[in-house]
Structure 1
């Protein structure tokens, strides 16, 4: 990782971890991997961005409103907090998404100004992990590729809702130009 890289951590929130309102199986297992990546990013002087769902109580995506998902990550609630073991530094940029009641938003790039922020810092390569691989990570990666960034998906720092949809998401992300990072050397294992 170098200063022209950025680490993007997608939605590592309590509601997406075991015990949460919309848990991803093993979702909390990515936290130690991400913490090693955070340490590497800090050592390299690379920006760290963390997105989070930050929904109103009556968000359109909730089943109570005719949507697909149970109520989750309601702004200001414990479920919307980042996982307590995630070691986000104070200087990390926090991106809120899904804040409008009548509009769903899966990607950290969707209406957040993130592209402009990264361009302003002359970032050209992104390393992305988080939850869930086949939902918000997928959407973030696809948008990042469309914006022209070199995108690396940190597979060990992501978990899907299901193995089948996770595999499909990896294939789709590869088709749009993302690189799937599987090397242990690049997982920050030297910092473990």
Structure 2
């Protein structure tokens, strides 16, 4: 990687799942294209990361997060249902070779990757700390929601945090602009993936 090579960096691939792509329960326009771009980027730059982590919405009984009359702010139609095809990683990521998989939102909203746990029961912060990671690049779906929440939590946990802007997509342009402003104010660096890996 070109920047801050003194500290191990992780790639956090947030919620790149069919449920958030075209045709899914909460499909985002451009989701399939983001999945393809993330897969290509990860394949080309895997050796630049000490750790690659995926997160997935894996809802079982998330309470008020699901609603038959959702407001699309705090409540949503059912999505990311555990063990369903829509909750699996997007097919484009079949060759990703992630080191760790984080499942989140089983019994709550679980917007942030830091709300989830891996198969051994470790929270994302523990996964990163165990690997000696102090910096993260965040990509995935949707920029305005789970990418935003994960990046903000990463900063709160003390990680040097970047969002690679061409490897994510918001629910709407307006929500994306608001999320980017909030992330920048919090100290998240926003940059295209080509700049993140420039020699």
TM-score of the pair, normalised by structure 2: 0.85
- Matches of 2:189 and 2:49, distance apart in 1: 22
What's 2:155 paired with?
145
What's 2:145 paired with?
135
**2:165–2:193 contact (8 Å) kept in structure 1:** no
CA displacement 1:26-53 (0-9 Å, x = unmatched): 1111123212331244223521000000
Question: Which of 7, 11, 28 pairs up with 2:32?
Answer: 28
Correspondence 1:97 to 2:76 = no
CA displacement 1:155-174 (0-9 Å, x = unmatched): 10101000001010001000
**2:136–2:160 contact (8 Å) kept in structure 1:** yes
- Matches of 1:73 and 1:176, distance apart in 2: 28
Name structure 1 gaps, 5 residues minimum: none
**2:164–2:193 contact (8 Å) kept in structure 1:** no
Q: Secondary structure at the match of 1:109?
A: helix
**1:21–1:72 contact (8 Å) kept in structure 2:** yes
What's 2:83 paired with?
76
What's 2:187 paired with?
177
Correspondence 1:117 to 2:124 = no
Name structure 2 gaps, 5 residues minimum: 118-122
Are the structure 2 counterparts of residues 41 and 117 from structure 1 closer, same or farther at C-alpha, using a change threshold of 3 Å? farther
- Matches of 1:184 and 1:134, distance apart in 2: 21
Q: Secondary structure at the match of 1:130?
A: strand
Which runs of structure 1 show a deviation greater than 6 angstroms over 4 or more consecutive aligned residues?
Answer: none
Q: Aligned-pair distance for 1:65?
A: 8.3
**1:41–1:48 contact (8 Å) kept in structure 2:** no
What's 2:66 paired with?
62
CA displacement 1:72-130 (0-9 Å, x = unmatched): 01001111111111244444311000011xx2210000253111111121111100011
